[in-house]
Amino acid sequence: MNTEEMGESLKKVEEALHEIHVAENREQWLSWLSLSTAIIAVFAAIVGLFETQATSRTLLEKNDAILLQSRASDQWSYYQAKSIKGHIYEVNAGLFPAKQEEFQKMTGKYDQEKKEIKEKAESLEKQSEERSAASEKYFEQHHVFAVAETFLGISIAVASIAALTRKKMAWYFSLGLSGCGVAAFVFGYFAR
């Protein structure tokens, strides 16, 4: 092999190495795509956890609200029973003048008991309303987290398409979708 042939061979080797280097640089973004997709997947899992917790809290608060409302209804029934008994003593006081003082005493006793029962019933109703309002708040938060989780899931799917088609624009779109998902999560988290 003469020097000229060696020079040409060396030139071909250098061109081949350059093409390999250019190809590697072109494909280097795929490593970033893989890394970003993994990060998005982890964040999607975290958002899913928060969404599940918001759903659980919604159900627990609503359950407590219903239980408290049931207890308040029981108190109102008790109030009605005391009211009826008090009214019977009131009527009897008018019908039996000889025992009027005793019947009025019983009427006063039932009036006092009714007052205490009413306060308890109203307190339970207030607690029920507070729990119901908390349930609504968690339900709204659940919806926002579900939107965030959807954006992140779609982002992962688009990133997979970007990897298969080797289209950077699809990757950029995936990153934009994940940004929307992160923004929705942050909004839902701080809107507590």
Please report the pLDDT score of residue 184 as a whole number. Answer: 97
**In sequence order, which residues have a C-beta less than 8 Å from that of residue 187 and are 6 or more positions away?**
144
Whether 7 shows a pLDDT value over 70: the answer reads no
Q: Which of 57-66, 100-109, 126-135 has the lowest mean pLDDT?
A: 100-109
Two tokens, residue 123: 């307190």
pTM of the model: 0.74
State the pLDDT at residue 95.
87
Say whether pLDDT at 4 is over 80.
Answer: no
Residue 92: burial class (beta carbons within 10 Å; 0-12, 13-18, 19+): middle
What is the model's pLDDT at position 54? Answer: 96
Question: Could you read off the pLDDT of 88-103 as tens digits, one per residue?
Answer: 988 988 888 888 899 8
Cα separation of the two ends of the chain: 79
Residues above pLDDT 90, as percent of the chain? 73
**Rounded-to-integer distance, Cα 71 and Cα 165, Å:** 62
* Exposure class string for 19-44: b at 16+ Cβ within 10 A, else e: eeeeeeeeeeeeeebeebbeebbebb
State the pLDDT at residue 177: 97
What is the DSSP code string of 43-73? HHHHHHHHHHHHHHHHHHHHHHHHHHHHHHH
Confidence (pLDDT) at 12: 66
Specify the pLDDT at position 94.
86
When the pLDDT of each residue in the chain is averaged and rounded to a whole number, the result is 90
Q: State the alpha helices, DSSP H only, in the chain.
A: 3-95, 100-165, 168-190
Predicted confidence band of residue 42 (pLDDT cuts 50, 70, 90)? very high
pLDDT bin (cut points 50, 70, 90) of residue 114 is: very high
Closest CA to 80 of 113, 103, 33: 113
